[in-house]
Structure 1
């Protein structure tokens, strides 16, 4: 990982995802013609970034299923039921990385295990590294953006409703959309100072 303003050696360390400046979102096709977008409002995550050898980096994220938000209370209530996420029985969605592969030009492939409703599937997410900067409070931040399609039936989420015109109400394919800002932990900052 390279950045003209921040020396590579300063990037190495542990980071905490900043929920105030991070979006964990998704989009799904609705009624075969439009997209519904949503996000999760409660999550936490940690990462270890190795600036010299990105393949040694890793990350993990825990998302609260009940925090799903599509800006429609009735739909969100349905998404929290057993038809979809079953938030009371499975309160957390988790992702634990298993590998990071540099792809060149500030692009990285993060592979790991995504668990939804006690079903774990391996997936790979391609990320763009957006750079590193010091915020006005002196924190070292790194930014990444990425997305990956998944199929909800792979996680046992199969509820749907047929349409009179053919097709179904909700697409099986869901695109996960990630915009991540992470702050280097202060202990690592002190060590690299």
Structure 2
């Protein structure tokens, strides 16, 4: 499938207007939300064939922020992300498929904690507009649930009820603003 030629080319993530967040259950009863404050990346869109386009996203793992310092430090430790040994979380696409108008599946390899696994991310194109400075911006949003155990992030502690302190299921949240290179 072809895309409008005016949108072909390189698009850069605008970190000031983008958010890659997550949520999970804590103690089986509360939802904890957080985000990564340092995100960069780009999409290279092929005008003739969207499936030959590429996406690369790099997250600085140490930028994790749940608004609670002790928890953030624990998440940075070897128990979870081990940011000293694995400073980046990286997603690199190997295909993009338009599944309906303005809805895409971006498939690729997600590397967390030194382990790469295939992941497909559904994204909705919210719109494309020119901002007051003349920059062309695209907005995309989506979510994807993963199991942190698949990436070797396995620390936990049992609860008296039989559950665990931290859920293995993590919902990733994508709110992206991309700016087209001129």
TM-score under structure 1 length normalisation: 0.90
User: Pick from 122, 125, 132: which aligns with 2:128?
Assistant: 132
The Cα RMSD (Å) is 1.6
State the match for 2:91 in structure 1: 95
How do 1:80-119 residues align onto structure 2 when only pairs under 5 Å count? 80-119=76-115
**Partner-residue secondary structure (3-state), 1:165:** coil
Instruction: Indicate yes or no: 2:27 matched with 1:31.
Output: yes
**Number of equivalent positions:** 182
**Partner-residue secondary structure (3-state), 1:153:** helix
State the match for 1:78 in structure 2: 74
**Cα offset, 1:34, TM superposition:** 1.7
TM-score under structure 2 length normalisation: 0.96
**Partner-residue secondary structure (3-state), 1:170:** coil
**Cα offset, 1:161, TM superposition:** 1.1
Instruction: Indicate yes or no: 2:150 matched with 1:163.
Output: no
CA distance in 2, matches of 1:10, 1:105: 17
Instruction: Indicate yes or no: 2:57 matched with 1:65.
Output: no
**Cα offset, 1:69, TM superposition:** 0.2
**Partner-residue secondary structure (3-state), 2:72:** helix
State the match for 2:138 in structure 1: 142
After superposition, give the CA deviation of every residue in 1:69-113 in whole Å (9 maximum; x if it has no partner). Answer: 000000000000000000011101100000001101211000000
CA distance in 2, matches of 1:89, 1:58: 27
State the match for 1:42 in structure 2: 38
**Partner-residue secondary structure (3-state), 1:178:** strand
Instruction: Give unpaired runs (5+ residues) of structure 2.
Output: none
Instruction: Indicate yes or no: 2:122 matched with 1:153.
Output: no
State the match for 1:190 in structure 2: none
**Cα offset, 1:51, TM superposition:** 4.7
**Cα offset, 1:54, TM superposition:** 2.0
**Partner-residue secondary structure (3-state), 1:86:** coil
State the match for 1:11 in structure 2: 7
CA distance in 2, matches of 1:51, 1:127: 19
After superposition, give the CA deviation of every residue in 1:2-37 in whole Å (9 maximum; x if it has no partner). Answer: 9xxxx9221111011000000011011111112101
State the match for 1:177 in structure 2: 173
State the match for 1:189 in structure 2: none
After superposition, give the CA deviation of every residue in 1:97-134 in whole Å (9 maximum; x if it has no partner). Answer: 00001101211000000001110000101111111000
Instruction: Give unpaired runs (5+ residues) of structure 1.
Output: 187-193
